[in-house]
Amino acid sequence: MRRIPAGEVVFELDRFAWTGAKRLEVRGRWYGVRGQRFLRPSLTLTIPGDADSQRALAVLDHKPWPVHEGEQWVAAFPWEGELPSFAQAELEVSPTIAVALPLRGLQHPPPRRRRGGGAREPITAGTRAPRTAAAREPQAVLVAAAPAPPEAPTPPPPSREELVRSLEGEHQRLEQALAGSHGERQRLSGELARAREARDAAVLAQQEAEQALQSGFAARLQELREEVERERALARRGAEAMHERDAALNEAARTHAELEQTRAALEQVARERDELRASAELLPQLRTQCEQLTHERDAAVGAIEQLAQERDAAVGTRDRLVRERDTAARARQELQRELERRDAEPLRPRPAEMAQVTEEIAAVGGRERYPPPPPAEAWPRPAAPPAASDSPWLVRAMVLSALLIVGIVLVIALGSSFSGHAHAAACTGARCVHAARR
């Protein structure tokens, strides 16, 4: 095992080279780092001709970068951009430990590593105070391993006196070291006793502080409990007050609703009162209108009764006219038979028969619209009797003319009678409708 002087930190570099296009790796072993605590490693690289240095933090692949005496330690650093040549490289593992690394392995592309690589290079790293941004000079010195000396001839074995002298010197040196260790032990024992006394005093002070803290905490806890109780009491009183307020608000809302209902009822009563007053003022006018309507109703009833009587009279007249029509039809048939019977006879005026026909026509018409025919003596005598072939047609023309006159008289009589009845009924109905609307 490598012997490291007390207070000295040494890093034995195994490898510092490119492991990829954009990755640098530092691999080695640390000595003299017992009690040290490493942080995230950083690598500061200086490019020739560039005043500023570029600093890269280690990737997290090897976190937490444990450091043990003489064991393998690895840190990898990323690199972005081009791959220039560097002038200086510094590895920093804590604010007080930094190592300047050699640049022989930074050729690009990275060379293929052969088995059984070169000898390791121990690098001494001294402790230092934390640096600022203005002071970035490396504080470690590279101690290159001395090249292996050429093989020399084997020296002769030492004599017995030389061995005794060397053993005596080694014995004296060990005694001195033992005395120094005894003194160091006494010194450490005194420091240990003082540390124990300080520890006991600190423990006592801590116990007293804990007791004071517990007593203060108990008092504070009691105060907090009392304050919580007061808050709870206030909360209960506040809840009761809120409940009472809500009840009062509900009661006020209910009272307001009842008041609104009462006000609406009063307004309805006032409107009904005004309507009753208006109705009382209109009562005489309504009474007069009622009496007028009663009179109009009685007049309408009388008019209806009169119309019923006129209707009955018109029905009787219609029946009579129907009977007269039937009588005239029978007379026409008899006259037709008589004319057919006399068709063979020569036409000769007969005053008695003409008078009878005139009376029948007047009876059928109901009134005498035409003057009676002159007596038979006043009728002109024909010069010669008509031919036997013309006499039937002349008689038929006269009979048809007489029947046409009788029909015209009947139509005029019935039309005048029914028009009078309809006009009276229409006037009475209009008066009834007007009275009902009023």
Q: Higher confidence at residue 261 or residue 395?
A: 261
Cα–Cα dist 31/67, whole Å:
9
Dihedral class, residue 35 (left if φ above 0, else alpha if ψ from -120 to 50, else beta): left
pLDDT at 422: 56
pLDDT at 346: 58
22-56 burial code (b ≥16 CB/10 A, e <16):
eebbbebbbbbbeeeebeebbbbbbeeeeeeeeeb
Report pLDDT digits (tens) over 125-143: 545 444 443 333 334 434 3
Q: Higher confidence at residue 268 or residue 35?
A: 268
- Looking from the CA of 360 toward its CB, the CA atoms found within 13 Å total 19
Q: Higher confidence at residue 428 or residue 166?
A: 166
pLDDT at 406: 84
pLDDT at 105: 57
pLDDT bracket for residue 403 (50, 70, 90): confident
How is residue 61 annotated by DSSP? G
Report pLDDT digits (tens) over 101-110: 887 756 554 4
Looking at residues 140-156, what average pLDDT do you find?
Answer: 45
Mean pLDDT of the chain: 76
pLDDT at 210 over 50: yes
43 residue type, one letter: L
pLDDT at 112: 47
Cα dihedral sign, 376-382-385-391: negative
Report pLDDT digits (tens) over 357-387: 677 766 665 544 445 555 555 555 544 444 4
Q: Higher confidence at residue 185 or residue 125?
A: 185
Note whether 403 and 332 are within 8 A (CB): yes
Cα dihedral sign, 218-224-229-230: positive
pLDDT at 53 over 80: no
pLDDT at 80: 76
Report pLDDT digits (tens) over 21-38: 788 899 999 988 887 888
pLDDT at 299 over 70: yes
Q: Is the peptide bond before 155 cis (omega within 30 degrees of 0)?
A: no
Looking at residues 58-74, what average pLDDT do you find?
Answer: 85
pTM, two decimals, is 0.30
pLDDT at 426: 54
pLDDT at 250 over 90: yes
250 residue type, one letter: N
Q: At what angle do helices 391-437 and 351-365 cross, to 10 degrees?
A: 20
Dihedral class, residue 342 (left if φ above 0, else alpha if ψ from -120 to 50, else beta): alpha
Q: Is the peptide bond before 64 cis (omega within 30 degrees of 0)?
A: yes
Residues facing 122 on adjacent strands: 12
Cα–Cα dist 163/176, whole Å:
20
Query: Which long-range contacts does 143-152 make (Cβ < 8 Å, 24+ apart)?
Result: 143/10, 145/119, 145/120, 145/121
72 residue type, one letter: Q
pLDDT at 33: 84
